[in-house]
Amino acid sequence: MTDTANHQALHGAVVEVLEKMFFIDAGDEAGDAPVSDTALTDLGVFVQVAFHGDPPGVFHMSLARDVATRIAADFLGLDADSVTAEQVNDVAKELANMICGAVLSRLESRATLRLSTPDLVDGDAAVLPGTVCAVETGSGILTARIAMEKRECSPTAKSAS
């Protein structure tokens, strides 16, 4: 799987999930330089979803807490002022889970994959290798990353796919 294909899948999945489930029109990418996760460490929400199968890997999503709060408010149909921290974290985990599932569907690699339960992680864990996509949500930037283990391409595996 090329990095370009992964990037297109990542961007398409973020846009699809935000549009269908959060009623957010988020077509634009936020440029080549995504927001630094280090800068967000104290004020950010970071979610990680591991997936197991062929190939296994890790999906990671980060966004500033105020952006996560506004997205949670959209999802729940509430005012941003009335959304609790627990609701923000809960919605962020759902968002990451849906984006990860949508990415893997686009990469047609779901046949043997299982997603783990999304976990909130420290910002430092966000510094992962892999494909990165930063999308402008209208409230701020959402950064998504996916890292998949390299597959050995044997003739047997190729003929079976």
Q: Which residues contact another protein by CB under 8 A?
A: 16-17, 19-21, 72, 75-77, 87, 90-91, 93-94, 97-98, 100-102, 105, 110-115, 117
State the nearest-atom distance from the C-beta of 78 to another protein, in Å: 9
Min. distance of Cβ 138 from another protein in angstroms? 17
Burial class (CB in 10 A: 0-12, 13-18, 19+), 37: buried
* Nearest approach, Cβ of residue 12 and another protein (Å): 12
Closest CA to 36 of 151, 119, 141: 141
Angle ∠(121,104,134) on CA atoms, nearest 5? 55
Q: Which is nearer to another protein, 35 or 83 (CB)?
A: 83
CB nearer another protein, residue 36 or residue 105: 105
> Shortest approach of another protein to residue 103 CB, angstroms?
10
Which among 19, 2, 51, 9 is positioned nearest to 144, based on CA atoms? 9
CB nearer to another protein: pick between 14 and 141 = 14
Residues facing 135 on adjacent strands: 29, 142
